[in-house]
Amino acid sequence: MRLANFDPKSNLSLADRAKEAVAYVCGEVFFWVGFFLAVLGATYSIYVGVAVFLGWLLLFVLIVRREDMALRFAVEFLKSIAIIIALTLGMGFAVEIVVFALSDRDVSGAFGSGLAGIAGGILGLVIAVVIVLRRIADIED
- Mind listing the pLDDT tens digit for each residue in 47-95? 777 777 777 776 776 666 665 666 676 677 778 888 888 888 888 888 8
Name the range with the highest mean pLDDT among 49-53, 100-104, 119-123.
119-123
**Residues 47, 136: Cα–Cα separation, whole Å:** 30
Compute the Cα dihedral for 79, 81, 87, 93 and give only its sign.
negative
**Residues 80, 105: Cα–Cα separation, whole Å:** 36
- Give the pLDDT of residue 69: 66
Average pLDDT value over all residues in the chain: 76
For the entire predicted model, the pTM comes to: 0.48
Tell me the pLDDT band of 118, cut-offs 50, 70 and 90: confident
**Residues 5, 40: Cα–Cα separation, whole Å:** 47
- Opening angle at CA 82, ends 40 and 113, nearest 5: 90
Q: Is 132 helix (H, G, I), strand (E, B) or coil?
A: helix
